[in-house]
C-alpha cells in the first residue's frame, strides 16, 4: 500500500513539474507574442531548476500533493492560489536581486497565472471526467430513480454526493421555494412545490420508487405531512442525517435513513448562545454524575465540544462507563477525561472524586427515574434522588465549585409519585444551598426524552418487532417529549445563564398523546395499527398522571433564551432543608415502612398527592379501528 501511495504521489508531482515547465515557456511565448528569442530561452532554462524547486516546496507545504484530486474543491483552489503567490514572490525576489536573470517583470505575472490555470485546471478536469463517469453509472438502468424533496444547501450536498454513487439517480426535485421552480440543480430540474399533486406527477413521469427528504431543519409537522403524502403515493420516504450529526462529522450526507419518530416530533432547530456556553465551559473542569446514562452521556459529548480543561464522568454502571470511555477517547482525543465508578450515595467516594477532579462545574444527572419501580421502592428513591443529590451538592459547596446544575423533571410538579416527590425535594435542597453558598445552585426541569434508556420509544419498538401488541396505559395519557441532544443542549444553555437559585424550565412544545406515538411508530415500521399490530390499554400504573405539567400556576419569567424560562418558586430555608434531609436519612436507614416515607415526602411537598389513586382508565382492550389515520395527532 505504501508503494502504491508513493507511486501515485510521484505521478502527481511529475505531472505538476511538466505543467510548470510548459507554463514557464508559454509565458515567454505570450510575452513576445510568438517565437521566443534565443537569449531569453537560455535564461529561462537557467532559472527552471530554481522555479521548479520553489513550486514543489510551496505546493508540498500547502499539502497540495497529498489530497485526492477528484475531490478537489474551494479549499484546494485557495491553497493553489496561496502557494503560487508565495512561490512567484520568492522567484521574483531571487531572480531580480540575487541571480539578476534580467527577465521581463511581466514574465513573473504571466507564469503565475498560467501556473494557477494549469494546477487548478488539472484538478477540475479530473473531477469532471470522474464525476461524468459516476453520473453515467448513476443513470444506469439499475440505479434507483428518486424524487428529492428540498433544494437548499442540504439538497445541494446530497445531490453532489449521490452523483458519486451508482445506487440512486435523482430524477426530479421538488421544493417549496417558488423562485426555484423550473431551475436546474446540478442538471436536475426543480419541478414544483412539495405537495401531493406534484409528487404523484413526478412519480408517474420518472418511475421513482422512493423520495428523499433533504430538509434537516423541517419541523415535525411538515415532516409528518410529507410522510403522509409519500405513504398515500405508495413510495418510501428516507431522510438525511440531522444538522447536528452533519456538523459533528458523524455521518456523510449520503448515509440515508428511514424516517424515525424523532423526525415527526421534531420542532424548530435550537439556536444556542455558543459564545456564552463556551465562556462558561472552556478551560473549566467539569464533573457529570450519572454520566453513563442517556442524558449524562450526551451532556458529556456536548460539553466536550466546548474545549473544557477536563471532564470527569461518574457513574455506578461499569459496563456503561467502559463503552462510553472507548467512544469518547476516540471521538474527542484532545479532551482530558476521567472515568470514576461509584455511587452518589457514597459520601467518602464522592469526597475523593471532588478532591481528585477539583471540578468548577457539576452536572448532576444521576437519579432513579422509573415511576412504578420507585413506588415499590420509596426508600431507594429517597437514597438516590434526595440523599445522593445532597451528598454531591454538599461536596460542590465545600469545594467552592462555580456552578451546580441539577437535572430535574416535570414529574416534580404537583407530584403524584414518589419519584416526582423526591426530585422536587432535591430541587428544594439545592435551591436552599444557593442562599448561603458561593456556588450557583440551579435546577433544570424537562419532560420525557425520546430514546433514553427504559423510555417508551424503545419499549414500543420491541413490542412492534415482536408482532405486538403495543401496550398503552390510557387513551388520554399525554407526555412532553424532546430529543436527547436537544435536552442536553438546553441544559448547557441554562447552566450558562445561571445566577443561583433558579429552577429553569425548558420549552417542551406541545404534549403528545402516547397512543398517537404508538400509532406513529407502528406506521413507521410499515405496518397498520389495529390490523398488523394491535394496541392494548392496560390502565394507569401506580404514581402515574394522565397529564404532566412543567410548572405550577405561577407565571414563569423569560430568560435571554426563548426556549428557557425560570419558574417563580420561592427558595427554601437552608437549615430547614438540612433537617428535612436528616429526617429522611433516618427513615431509610432505619428501614421505616413505605407509608412512613411517603408521609414525610408529602409533608415536605404539600402540593403532592402521593398514594392517591389516579384514573385507571378503561379495562384492558385491543384497539381494532378501521381507517386509522396513517399518522395520528
Mean pLDDT over 478-504 rounds to 84
Ordered DSSP codes for 350-410: HHHHHHHH--SEEEE------HHHHHH-HHHHIIIIIIHHHHHHHHHHHHT-SEEEEEEEG
Flag whether pLDDT at 1 surpasses 50: no
Q: Tell me the torsion sign for CA atoms 143, 149, 150, 153.
A: negative
Average pLDDT, the chain: 81
Lowest mean pLDDT among 54-63, 181-190, 448-457, 564-573: 448-457
- The three cell numbers of residue 347 are 459520601
Residue 340 sits in the same domain as residue 200? no
398/392 Cα distance (integer angstroms): 10
Residue 211 contacts residue 184 (beta carbons within 8 Å): no
**pLDDT tens, 410-446?**
888 888 899 999 999 999 999 999 888 999 999 998 8
373/369 Cα distance (integer angstroms): 8
Higher pLDDT, 437 or 610: 437
- Compute the C-alpha angle 292/265/443, nearest 5°: 45
Mean pLDDT over 591-612 rounds to 83
Q: How confident is the model at residue 631 (pLDDT cuts 50, 70, 90)?
A: very low
Residue 621 belongs to a domain: no
Flag whether pLDDT at 617 surpasses 50: no
Flag whether pLDDT at 474 surpasses 90: no
Residue 449 sits in the same domain as residue 565? yes
Residue 543 belongs to a domain: no
Residue 104 sits in the same domain as residue 72? yes
**pLDDT tens, 374-405?**
988 999 999 999 999 999 999 999 999 999 99
Residue 266 belongs to a domain: no
**pLDDT tens, 323-362?**
999 999 999 999 999 999 999 999 999 999 999 999 999 9
Residue 299 sits in the same domain as residue 372? yes
Chain centroid to Cα 289, Å, comes to 21
Residue 506 sits in the same domain as residue 586? yes
pLDDT at 97: 60
Domain housing 11: 2-135
Residue 334's nearest CA partner among 310, 298, 358, 352 is 310
Residue 327 sits in the same domain as residue 240? no
Residue 446 belongs to a domain: yes
**pLDDT tens, 101-128?**
666 667 777 877 888 787 777 777 776 6
559/172 Cα distance (integer angstroms): 45
Residue 392 sits in the same domain as residue 280? yes
pLDDT at 24: 75
CATH number of the domain enclosing 211? 3.40.50.720
pLDDT at 171: 87
| Overall domain count for the chain | 3
pLDDT at 130: 62
Flag whether pLDDT at 615 surpasses 60: no
Chain centroid to Cα 495, Å, comes to 19
Mean pLDDT over 293-307 rounds to 92
Flag whether pLDDT at 632 surpasses 60: no
Residue 384 sits in the same domain as residue 427? yes
52/35 Cα distance (integer angstroms): 23
Residue 491 sits in the same domain as residue 362? yes
- Compute the C-alpha angle 456/482/332, nearest 5°: 100
pLDDT at 451: 64
Q: Which of 135, 153, 174 is the last residue of a domain?
A: 135
pLDDT at 95: 61
In a 13 Å sphere around the CA of 233, the CA atoms on its Cβ side amount to 26
Sheet containing strand 535-537, strands side by side: 470-472, 535-537, 621-623
Q: Which of 116, 135, 154 is the last residue of a domain?
A: 135
Residue 464 belongs to a domain: no
Residue 212 sits in the same domain as residue 313? no
Flag whether pLDDT at 627 surpasses 60: no
- The three cell numbers of residue 89 are 514572490
Residue 367 sits in the same domain as residue 328? yes
Residue 189 belongs to a domain: yes
Q: How confident is the model at residue 551 (pLDDT cuts 50, 70, 90)?
A: low
Question: Across the chain, how many H-helices and E-strands are there?
Answer: 22, 23
Q: Tell me the torsion sign for CA atoms 110, 113, 116, 120.
A: negative
Phi, psi for residue 440 in degrees, rounded to 5: -85, 105
- For the chain, state the CA radius of gyration: 32
Residue 76 belongs to a domain: yes
Q: Which of 218, 233, 259 is the last residue of a domain?
A: 259
The SS3 assignment for 327 reads helix
pLDDT at 54: 80
Q: How confident is the model at residue 152 (pLDDT cuts 50, 70, 90)?
A: confident
Higher pLDDT, 51 or 130: 51
Q: Which segment, 4-13, 180-189, 359-368, 404-413, is predicted with the most confidence on average?
A: 359-368
Higher pLDDT, 630 or 86: 86
The SS3 assignment for 10 reads helix
Residue 179 sits in the same domain as residue 216? yes
- The answer for 339, left when phi > 0, alpha when psi is -120 to 50, beta otherwise, is beta
Residue 397 belongs to a domain: yes
**pLDDT tens, 169-198?**
888 999 999 989 988 887 788 999 999 999
**pLDDT tens, 524-547?**
887 888 888 888 888 777 777 776
- The rounded percent of the chain whose pLDDT value lies above 90 is 26
Amino acid at each position: 500500500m505504501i508503494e502504491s501511495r508513493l507511486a501515485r504521489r510521484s505521478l502527481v508531482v511529475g505531472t505538476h513539474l511538466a505543467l510548470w515547465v510548459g507554463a514557464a515557456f508559454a509565458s515567454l511565448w505570450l510575452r513576445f507574442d510568438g517565437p521566443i528569442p534565443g537569449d531569453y530561452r537560455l535564461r529561462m532554462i537557467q532559472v527552471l531548476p530554481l522555479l521548479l524547486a520553489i513550486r514543489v516546496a510551496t505546493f508540498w507545504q500547502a499539502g497540495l500533493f497529498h489530497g485526492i484530486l477528484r475531490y478537489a474543491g474551494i479549499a484546494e483552489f485557495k491553497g493553489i492560489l496561496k502557494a503560487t503567490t508565495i512561490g512567484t514572490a520568492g522567484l521574483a525576489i531571487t531572480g531580480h536581486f540575487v541571480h539578476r536573470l534580467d527577465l521581463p517583470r511581466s514574465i513573473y505575472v504571466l507564469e503565475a497565472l498560467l501556473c494557477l490555470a494549469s494546477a487548478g485546471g488539472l484538478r477540475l478536469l479530473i473531477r469532471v471526467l470522474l464525476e461524468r463517469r459516476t453520473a453515467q453509472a448513476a443513470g444506469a438502468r439499475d440505479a434507483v430513480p428518486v424524487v428529492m424533496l428540498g433544494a437548499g444547501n442540504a439538497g445541494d450536498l446530497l445531490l453532489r454526493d449521490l452523483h458519486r454513487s451508482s445506487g440512486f439517480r435523482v430524477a426530479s426535485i421538488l421544493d417549496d421555494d417558488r423562485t426555484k421552480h423550473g431551475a436546474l440543480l446540478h442538471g436536475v430540474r426543480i419541478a414544483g412545490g412539495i405537495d401531493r399533486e406534484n409528487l404523484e406527477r413526478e412519480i408517474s413521469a420518472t418511475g421513482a420508487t422512493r423520495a428523499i427528504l433533504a430538509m434537516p431543519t423541517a419541523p415535525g409537522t411538515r415532516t409528518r405531512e410529507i410522510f403522509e403524502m409519500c405513504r398515500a403515493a405508495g413510495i418510501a420516504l428516507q431522510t438525511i442525517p440531522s444538522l447536528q450529526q452533519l456538523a459533528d462529522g458523524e455521518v456523510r450526507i449520503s448515509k440515508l435513513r428511514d424516517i424515525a419518530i424523532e423526525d415527526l416530533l421534531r420542532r424548530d432547530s435550537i439556536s444556542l448562545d455558543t459564545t456564552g456556553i463556551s465562556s462558561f465551559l472552556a478551560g473549566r473542569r467539569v464533573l457529570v454524575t450519572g454520566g453513563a446514562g442517556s442524558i449524562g452521556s450526551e451532556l458529556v459529548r456536548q460539553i466536550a465540544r466546548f474545549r473544557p480543561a477536563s471532564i470527569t464522568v461518574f457513574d455506578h454502571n461499569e459496563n456503561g462507563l467502559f463503552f462510553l470511555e472507548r467512544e469518547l477517547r476516540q471521538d474527542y482525543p484532545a479532551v482530558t477525561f476521567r472515568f470514576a465508578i461509584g455511587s452518589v450515595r457514597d459520601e467518602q467516594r464522592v469526597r475523593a472524586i471532588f478532591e481528585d477532579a477539583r471540578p468548577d462545574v457539576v452536572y448532576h444527572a444521576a437519579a432513579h427515574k422509573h415511576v412504578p419501580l420507585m413506588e415499590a421502592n420509596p426508600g431507594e428513591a429517597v437514597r438516590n434522588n434526595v440523599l445522593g443529590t445532597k451528598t454531591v451538592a454538599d461536596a460542590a459547596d465545600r469545594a467552592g465549585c462555580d456552578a451546580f446544575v441539577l437535572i430535574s423533571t416535570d414529574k416534580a410538579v404537583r407530584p403524584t409519585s414518589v419519584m416526582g416527590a423526591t426530585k422536587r425535594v432535591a430541587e428544594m435542597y439545592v435551591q436552599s444551598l444557593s442562599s448561603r453558598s458561593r456556588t450557583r445552585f440551579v435546577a433544570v426541569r424537562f419532560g420525557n426524552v425520546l430514546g433514553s434508556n427504559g423510555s417508551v420509544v424503545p419499549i414500543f419498538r420491541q413490542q412492534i418487532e415482536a408482532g405486538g401488541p403495543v401496550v398503552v396505559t390510557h387513551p388520554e395519557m399525554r407526555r412532553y417529549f424532546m430529543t436527547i441532544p436537544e435536552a442536553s443542549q438546553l441544559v448547557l444553555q441554562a447552566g450558562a445563564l445561571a445566577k443561583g437559585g433558579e429552577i429553569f424550565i425548558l420549552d417542551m412544545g406541545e404534549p403528545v398523546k402516547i397512543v398517537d406515538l404508538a400509532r406513529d411508530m407502528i406506521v413507521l415500521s410499515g405496518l397498520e395499527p389495529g390490523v398488523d399490530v394491535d394496541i392494548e390499554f392496560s390502565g394507569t400504573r401506580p404514581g402515574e398522571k394522565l397529564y404532566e405539567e412543567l410548572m405550577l400556576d405561577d407565571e414563569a419569567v423569560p430568560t435571554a433564551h426563548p426556549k428557557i424560562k425560570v419558574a417563580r418558586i420561592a427558595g427554601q430555608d437552608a437549615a430547614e432543608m438540612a433537617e428535612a434531609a436528616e429526617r429522611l436519612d433516618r427513615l431509610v436507614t432505619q428501614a421505616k415502612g413505605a407509608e412512613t416515607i411517603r408521609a414525610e415526602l408529602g409533608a415536605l411537598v404539600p402540593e403532592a398527592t402521593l398514594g392517591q389513586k389516579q384514573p385507571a382508565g378503561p379495562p384492558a382492550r385491543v384497539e381494532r379501528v378501521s381507517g386509522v389515520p396513517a399518522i395520528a395527532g
